[in-house]
Amino acid sequence: MTVTAVSTLQARPGKEELVRAQALSLIEPSLAEPGCLNYQPYQHPTELGSWVVVETWDSRAAFEAHLVSSHMREAFEAGAELLAGPPSEQLFETSN
C-alpha cells in the first residue's frame, strides 16, 4: 500500500527565503531514503511564503521512518522558528 502525504506550510513573515532553502534541501536526502517514490515541494506562485509538499512512499513503515530521519528531525526543529504554525498534513493510501 503506497502512502502519499500532502503537507501545507506557511512561512513566518520575513522567513520566506529560509523556508524555501530548507524545503529544497530536503528533496535529495528524502529521495535517497528507502521506499521514497516521490518528494516534491511546491511554492505558491504569488504567495511566496506558502508551500505544499507532496511525497509518496511505498509503505506506511517507510513514511514513518522518514519522519524520524535526521534531516526531518532537523527540519521539524527549525520549523518552530521558520513557520507561522505547525504544518497541516493529509495522508492518502492506495492499494498496490
pTM, two decimal places:
0.92
The 3-state DSSP class for residue 72 equals helix
Number of independent structural domains in the chain? 1
pLDDT of residue 74: 95
Cα 46 versus chain centre, distance: 20
Whole-angstrom distance, CA of residue 80 vs CA of residue 20: 15
Q: Which domain holds residue 34?
A: 2-94
Secondary structure of 21-47 as H, E, C letters: HHHHHCHHHHHCCCCEEEEEEEECCCC
Assign residue 55 the CATH number of its domain. Answer: 3.30.70.100
pLDDT of residue 96: 63
Mean predicted confidence (pLDDT) in 18-44: 97
Q: Is 47 exposed, middle or buried (0-12, 13-18, 19+ CB in 10 A)?
A: exposed
The pLDDT mean for the chain works out to: 96
